[in-house]
Structure formats: structure tokens, C-alpha cells
Chain A
């Protein structure tokens, strides 16, 4: 078997099929990155998975999952002003959390260099929006490099690291979901000889590092001068490239994954437009763009999400008084969704009707039932929602937070009727409880979120005495993003650490009403939630059960593992369908005749369903 960890550290050059997220780690190693921090979030957690394939004692950099993205950003910045090349990575909306620190970084003299790796998510594949983080880059005077595939991820990170070290400023490497997860063969160079000087180099004379009042102005001027210097360097950079089809009437300016879709679409074009593919997407190289505009009669800006590139290009054209026709986003749909082959085909067909052959009618096939993601067999959250629902009145309001338990909004539970972002549920719940004596408010939160951004909302509920109930869904892991440790686990990525008990924290905050129960004790949980909702003031129910996906995977790896499942006694079953329609474990199968069967491929034999059957027809399967 090929060992990824060994490959990532191999001194010689080699080629290997890797995903973008893995290519990034080899680039970190090659660049001499010394400190890396993160908070897990799709599409970036596989960066950490690749890092973890390297044995701890041979990993050439420090790595941690911090409690949230802002802290991760601060750890990376702190390391960088001590002279270390650092990197922080997280998902798109993570930058919202980290922004308070991030927007100041351009003002600082970051002597070690710092790369901010963002996993943006056009198409909202696993995010609550499709925010375009180039807006943040603009606001924070921070350059952005955007690779289109894993080979470019490797090259661009190394370029970003060098640029950051040269200008002592942060550089963003913006990777979108299908760049992070794309796989291809990447040619990796031999590793350079790296010598680390770990002497702490923090010195106020490199600063000042205190941005207040008039001290801000010279720093802002420096940031803008840095940005101009990066732009000047971008003019001749090989990270931007022109695909010359000898077409002087039509050109396209694009970047990232849309460039790849474009190349595929143009395979069928009658006369291919020239393409300017930008690697530097902020600031864009003005002269290069101007030259491209000048050489073409009309230029299409093919840009996923927002019209940032379009605005930049139009400004350049206006200032130069160009006659070139610039074709930007047409309708609202051009702002929405990922620029896949099909999207790009439709956009270009709309822009230049003669460019592409008409596409034939698509056979829509036959209707297939949707398959939304759902809680796994045995999931403690399922037992929790099943039990909690029984404690609520129809009109009560339930507030979800981020995590696997968000899936409770689906039928049959329909619990967690609104969702915002990490840690928002106690605050949202507090607002919903004001002037409201008739509809009780129950908020949910997972344990990783509790530490990430949940505490301020919880403390607020105590501080301002909000009359809501918080249910802490404690499964002992950061489940949705791939089972990373939490501060309550007693372990971090580097080894054993002091566990911070959720309950102990709540007690320390002086919360008067705290209850705890394993969610498989469904009746008890129903009772405790009723009790908590009757309490006058802020109450918390810790609804605990270990993540069963993680547990089952661990069991399967053990020697002599025997799968378990439950069985339904068809003689006892009266087809009341409580198991299907209320408990809703995916292991149950509804047959055409109304009978219910167990899908043996899915059932893990946890038995949490047994108590839900009014006729006691479910029991552990005995071969």
C-alpha cells in the first residue's frame, strides 16, 4: 500500500494522484511552513487528514485545530510575527468568524509570512451560503491567488508563501470546493534543503503592532503600497496565462474552476475565443488585462458568484477610454451556483448565440425520490429528537445550530425550525423569547459548537436571564466534518490533553437548571425537557450519546468483530409504523404490503428503536 505520509515528506521528486487538499500539504512542506492552524469545515478538513498521515515525530510543522477560526487566525498570526511562515485554513464562512482579526492583518508587518487558505463553496455544497470571500480580500487589502486544479494548488501555495515572505503581508489562497476535492496526478518537485531558525524574533521595532488612531494611517499606506507592489509583480507572473486561439474579435477573462469548465465547453465551439486565465484574482494585473481588452472587440467576464472581476475590468476599461465591449453578468442566475460545464455552456450560448451548437432535448428520465442526508442508524440525535418532540407543544419554537443535529429539521422530526451559523442558537432563542409567554423556545447546540462560538450566547442567556431551554447534543466529537477532537475529548490532534467538561463549564457559569441524560433513555429525556421548559429562567439539558458512526467504525476495525442488528417479529407487528413514521431510522424498510423490514446492510443493532415500538415487535436479532 502507498503511504501518503511518507510521500508527502519524500525528498525526491515524484508524481502522484492526489486531491487538491493533499497537494496543498506537500506545498506547505516544500515552502518550509512552520505553523499551521485550522478549524474543521468542508471543503477543507481533508487538508488535516493529509497532515495526519505524517507521523507526529517527522511532521516538519506544528499543527493544531483551534477552538474556532478566529483563534486559528490569531495563532497563525502570532507565529508569523515571531518569524515563522504560518498558514491557517478553514471553510468560507469561517472567515466571518475570523474577520475581526483578519481585517487588521494587512496593517501589520508579518515578518515570517502568512498564507490564509480559504475553502469557498460556490454551489453551497456544504455551507449555509455561497459567500464570495474576495469581498473580504478587497476590504482587507489582501492579495488573492486562485488555483483551478490540484497541480495549481501546489504551485500557487508555494507562490503565495514566497510573496507573503517578500512583502511581509498575508496572502489568500482561495480554493473552491471542487478544487479542494478534485483529484489528478500532480508532479511534485524534490524538497529543498530547509533549515529552520526557531529563535523567537518578535520585536516591536518591526511594528508597531498596535493599530490605534493616527498610528493606523502609515500602516494603511504601507498596506496599499504592498498591494500595488503585488500587482506590479503579477503583471509578468506565469500564474496568469493567455490561451491564444488567434481570435481578435472575442475574448474571455476567467479564473479558477470556471476556466476548466470553459475549456471543456469550447471543445465544441465554432471559433474559440481567446482566454485570459487569471491566477492573481486580487489585485488583478492592470496592464495585462488592458492589453487583452485592447486586442479584442468584445470580452466576456466569466466569473463565478459575484461581479468583482467584472467591476475591476470595467474600471480599467473606463479609465483607459476603451471601446471594447465588456460583457458581464446578465441576469440574476449568473450570480447563483457553481460554474459547471452546463452552467458555462448556457451562459456562453446566451452571450454569443453563434458560438456553440444547440444542445438537444434532454431526456428527463423517470422521477426518483430525493435522498437528503440524514442521521445515521443508531445516531443519538435521533433518539433525542424523537423524545424531545414529545415534550413540546405544537406551537413551541425550536432553534437549530450547526452540526449533524441540523438534520433534525427534516421529517419526521421537524425540530430546529431556524438555522443561522455556529453558536447562534441561544442568541436567536433569546430574541424569540421576548414578549413571548405563549410559545416556549428550545435551542439546540452540539459540543464542538459549544466551544467554538456557543459560549457567548450561553453566557448572555445567563447574564440577561433569558427564559429559554438549551439542549446540548453532546456526542463527544466534531462529527459532521469527520470526527475531529473537541476540547471536551481529552485529546487534540497532537496527543493527550486536559478534557474540559461541558457540564463543568455550565456549572461554572452559574446556570441553575442543568440536567443530563443519555439520549437512548428516551422517556427520561422527554421528562427532563418538560421539566427544563417549566423552569423559570435559562435551563440546559445535556443530551448525551457518543457518535455511533465513529463508534461503529472503531468496532469494525477490531478483530473478531461481529455485526449486530435488530429483527421485527412479523407476528407481533401490527403495522402501526411508529418506527417508520416517527422514529424514522433509515434501517427500516416499508414494504408494499405495509409490513416493515430491517435493512441488514444498514442496521447496527444499537437497539435504540426497540423502546419506540408500541407492540414490542422489535428485538435484537439472534441468528
Chain B
């Protein structure tokens, strides 16, 4: 593989760190050359957080250039739009979890909220494939990232990275009840075994 870029975006506290760590390790298990970088520090306090993930033999920097992502994974509606604006050019895929963590300006009544319709329109205009993910039955919102992961796996959204690679990555990172719960959810949502 020459180059495949994934751009993960969400709000601090949504568990994007674990998601990116699973993806980078899964890509490694699939035998891809991979690098990435996460947002750390102050932005984690309720701000936009981003993880870059780059695969392929031609990649040098860990950061995805503007408009050069092949896949945007977003954990929130506003961030889905932001991710598409920043990272996707024409073509590519957007996966987003359908929840809203209202930004400050909207809560204060000073900024207009974004509409779900805008995401659909923008995706159409840019020729993007769109996967909207939602699992209202989850008891623990911090597991929404696993539902998104399952979607990435189920539809084979990262070339060469397979179901078993995601599983191995989760086994690298989690243990005990955390592993059991997350794996069960992954199985359920990815349609795996």
C-alpha cells in the first residue's frame, strides 16, 4: 500500500484515544507500515480532539495533510462536519456517531447549530460515502467508540485490515471485564463471530 490516511475527530472525553490506539495496532497486525499522532493536553478538556493515522510505505509525517484523508471517523455530529471540512477532499468515507455535544457558542445562543441534513449535503457534494452510526441502547456512552470501530471493521473501511486484526489490537490494549464488554459489543455490531 502506498498511502491510506484516516482522520479521527471527536470531543475530549469521548474515548478517541483508545479508538486510535486500536486502529494503529490493528493496522500493524495487518502488516501495514503505520504511524499516527493524537491530541494531548488542554484540548482534552471538552475541546475538539484529533487523531491522525497514516498507513503505507510512502508516508513520512504522522499528520494527515489537509484534504488528504481517505477516511474520517467522527464521534460527534459537529466534529463530523469539521472533520470533512478539514481532512476530506473529493471522494472518501465519513463514519460518524450520531450524537451532539453542543459547542459553547450554540449553548449560549450565539451560534447556529449544525443540522444533520448539512452532513448529508456536504457528503453528496464531495462525493463521500457516509455511514451514520447510532446505538441508543448502550448503557455506557464511553463505548460508542467501539460501535464506530465495529462499523469500520464490518465494511472493511481500512484496506487490508480485517476483523481479526481489530480483535488482536483490542486484546493488546484491554484486559478483564473491559476486554470482555468491549469485545462483546464489537462482535455484536460488526456481525463477527
Query: Which residues of A come within 8 Å of B, CB atoms?
Result: 1-2, 17, 42-43, 45-46, 125-126, 149, 178, 181-185, 257, 259-261, 263-264, 267, 340-342, 345, 362-366, 368-376, 404, 407, 410-412, 480-481, 549, 577, 580-581, 584, 586, 588-590, 592, 599-602
Among listed B97-105, B148-156, B159-167, interface-contacting one: B97-105
Question: Smallest CB–CB gap between A564 and chain B, Å?
Answer: 14
The answer to whether the Cβ of B193 comes within 8 Å of any Cβ in the partner chain is no
Q: Which A residues lie within 8 Å of B79 (CB)?
A: 371
Q: In the bound complex, do residue B65 and residue A342 qualify as a contact, i.e. CB atoms below 8 Å apart? A: yes
The answer to whether the Cβ of B133 comes within 8 Å of any Cβ in the partner chain is no
The answer to whether the Cβ of B184 comes within 8 Å of any Cβ in the partner chain is no
Q: Which B residues lie within 8 Å of A376 (CB)?
A: 13, 45-46
Q: List 15 A-B contacts (CB under 8 A).
A: A42-B40, A43-B40, A149-B35, A181-B38, A185-B28, A342-B65, A342-B66, A369-B104, A370-B111, A374-B46, A412-B108, A549-B45, A586-B104, A601-B141, A602-B13
For chains A and B in complex, what number of residue pairs have CB atoms within 8 angstroms?
183
Q: In the bound complex, do residue A183 and residue B62 qualify as a contact, i.e. CB atoms below 8 Å apart? A: yes
CA distance A580 to B102 in the complex (A): 11
Q: In the bound complex, do residue B35 and residue A183 qualify as a contact, i.e. CB atoms below 8 Å apart? A: yes
Q: Which A residues lie within 8 Å of B36 (CB)?
A: 182-184
Q: In the bound complex, do residue B108 and residue A264 qualify as a contact, i.e. CB atoms below 8 Å apart? A: no
The DSSP consensus for interface residues of chain A is loop
Q: A362-B67, A584-B107 are in contact. Are A17 and B45 (CB under 8 A)?
A: no
Question: Smallest CB–CB gap between A601 and chain B, Å?
Answer: 4
Known: A178-B63, A601-B101, A601-B141. 12 other contacts (CB 8 A): A181-B38, A182-B35, A183-B35, A184-B62, A341-B65, A342-B66, A369-B104, A369-B112, A580-B108, A580-B109, A586-B107, A590-B106
Q: In the bound complex, do residue A363 and residue B89 qualify as a contact, i.e. CB atoms below 8 Å apart? A: yes
Bits for B77-108, please: 1 = Cβ < 8 Å to A, else 0: 01101101100011000000001111111111
Q: A17-B28, A373-B47, A374-B47 are in contact. Are A43 and B41 (CB under 8 A)?
A: yes
Q: Which B residues lie within 8 Å of A260 (CB)?
A: 60-62
CA distance A34 to B35 in the complex (A): 31
The 8 closest A-B pairs by CB, nearest first: A365-B85, A373-B47, A42-B41, A126-B41, A263-B60, A341-B65, A601-B141, A260-B61
The answer to whether the Cβ of B174 comes within 8 Å of any Cβ in the partner chain is yes
Among residues of B, the one whose C-beta sits closest to the C-beta of A265 is B65
| A43, A184, A410, A580 pick with most chain B CB within 10 angstroms | A184
The answer to whether the Cβ of B43 comes within 8 Å of any Cβ in the partner chain is yes
Interface residues of B in 7-48 (CB under 8 A from A): 11-13, 24-25, 28, 33-48
The answer to whether the Cβ of B126 comes within 8 Å of any Cβ in the partner chain is yes
Q: Which B residues lie within 8 Å of A178 (CB)?
A: 37, 62-63
CA distance A33 to B102 in the complex (A): 47
CA distance A183 to B179 in the complex (A): 23
Among residues of A, the one whose C-beta sits closest to the C-beta of B106 is A369
Q: A365-B122, A368-B82, A599-B101 are in contact. Are A183 and B24 (CB under 8 A)?
A: yes
Question: Smallest CB–CB gap between A341 and chain B, Å?
Answer: 4
CA distance A602 to B47 in the complex (A): 13
Among residues of B, the one whose C-beta sits closest to the C-beta of A586 is B46
Q: In the bound complex, do residue A581 and residue B109 qualify as a contact, i.e. CB atoms below 8 Å apart? A: yes
The answer to whether the Cβ of B135 comes within 8 Å of any Cβ in the partner chain is no
Q: In the bound complex, do residue A1 and residue B171 qualify as a contact, i.e. CB atoms below 8 Å apart? A: yes
Q: Which B residues lie within 8 Å of A184 (CB)?
A: 34-36, 62
Question: Smallest CB–CB gap between B175 and chain A, Å?
Answer: 4
The answer to whether the Cβ of B114 comes within 8 Å of any Cβ in the partner chain is yes
Q: A264-B65, A368-B114 are in contact. Are A1 and B174 (CB under 8 A)?
A: yes
Q: In the bound complex, do residue B108 and residue A411 qualify as a contact, i.e. CB atoms below 8 Å apart? A: yes
Question: Smallest CB–CB gap between B72 and chain A, Å?
Answer: 11
Q: In the bound complex, do residue A371 and residue B11 qualify as a contact, i.e. CB atoms below 8 Å apart? A: yes
Pick from B11, B67, B173: contact of A2, CB under 8 Å: B173
CA distance A590 to B109 in the complex (A): 8
Q: Which A residues lie within 8 Å of B44 (CB)?
A: 373
Among residues of B, the one whose C-beta sits closest to the C-beta of A412 is B108
Q: Which B residues lie within 8 Å of A17 (CB)?
A: 24-25, 28, 34
CA distance A599 to B101 in the complex (A): 8
The answer to whether the Cβ of B113 comes within 8 Å of any Cβ in the partner chain is yes
The answer to whether the Cβ of B172 comes within 8 Å of any Cβ in the partner chain is yes
Q: In the bound complex, do residue B85 and residue A368 qualify as a contact, i.e. CB atoms below 8 Å apart? A: yes
Q: In the bound complex, do residue A375 and residue B42 qualify as a contact, i.e. CB atoms below 8 Å apart? A: no
CA distance A351 to B53 in the complex (A): 29
Q: Which B residues lie within 8 Å of A341 (CB)?
A: 61, 63, 65-66, 68
Q: Which A residues lie within 8 Å of B100 (CB)?
A: 589, 599
Pick from B11, B84, B99, B105: contact of A370, CB under 8 Å: B105
The answer to whether the Cβ of B59 comes within 8 Å of any Cβ in the partner chain is yes
CA distance A370 to B112 in the complex (A): 11
Q: In the bound complex, do residue B45 and residue A126 qualify as a contact, i.e. CB atoms below 8 Å apart? A: no
The answer to whether the Cβ of B129 comes within 8 Å of any Cβ in the partner chain is no
Q: In the bound complex, do residue B61 and residue A264 qualify as a contact, i.e. CB atoms below 8 Å apart? A: yes
Q: In the bound complex, do residue B48 and residue A371 qualify as a contact, i.e. CB atoms below 8 Å apart? A: yes
Question: Smallest CB–CB gap between B76 and chain A, Å?
Answer: 9
Q: A368-B85, A373-B47 are in contact. Are A182 and B62 (CB under 8 A)?
A: yes
Among residues of B, the one whose C-beta sits closest to the C-beta of A404 is B45
Q: In the bound complex, do residue B105 and residue A264 qualify as a contact, i.e. CB atoms below 8 Å apart? A: no
Q: In the bound complex, do residue B81 and residue A368 qualify as a contact, i.e. CB atoms below 8 Å apart? A: yes
Among residues of B, the one whose C-beta sits closest to the C-beta of A406 is B42
Q: In the bound complex, do residue A366 and residue B122 qualify as a contact, i.e. CB atoms below 8 Å apart? A: yes
Q: Which B residues lie within 8 Å of A581 (CB)?
A: 108-109
Pick from B62, B106, B111, B141: contact of A149, CB under 8 Å: B62
Q: Which A residues lie within 8 Å of B39 (CB)?
A: 125
Pick from A126, A345, A370, A586: contact of B102, CB under 8 Å: A586
Among residues of B, the one whose C-beta sits closest to the C-beta of A258 is B61
The answer to whether the Cβ of B58 comes within 8 Å of any Cβ in the partner chain is yes
Q: A182-B36, A263-B60 are in contact. Are A366 and B118 (CB under 8 A)?
A: yes
Q: In the bound complex, do residue B63 and residue A340 qualify as a contact, i.e. CB atoms below 8 Å apart? A: yes
Q: A1-B179, A342-B66 are in contact. Are A373 and B46 (CB under 8 A)?
A: yes
Q: Which A residues lie within 8 Å of B46 (CB)?
A: 371, 373-376, 586
Q: Which A residues lie within 8 Å of B33 (CB)?
A: 185
CA distance A99 to B114 in the complex (A): 48
Q: In the bound complex, do residue B61 and residue A257 qualify as a contact, i.e. CB atoms below 8 Å apart? A: yes
Q: In the bound complex, do residue A369 and residue B103 qualify as a contact, i.e. CB atoms below 8 Å apart? A: yes
CA distance A264 to B12 in the complex (A): 29
Question: Smallest CB–CB gap between A476 and chain B, Å?
Answer: 17
Q: In the bound complex, do residue B40 and residue A181 qualify as a contact, i.e. CB atoms below 8 Å apart? A: yes
Bits for B114-131, please: 1 = Cβ < 8 Å to A, else 0: 100010001001100000
Q: In the bound complex, do residue A264 and residue B60 qualify as a contact, i.e. CB atoms below 8 Å apart? A: yes
CA distance A2 to B46 in the complex (A): 29
Q: Which A residues lie within 8 Å of B104 (CB)?
A: 369-372, 374, 410-411, 584, 586
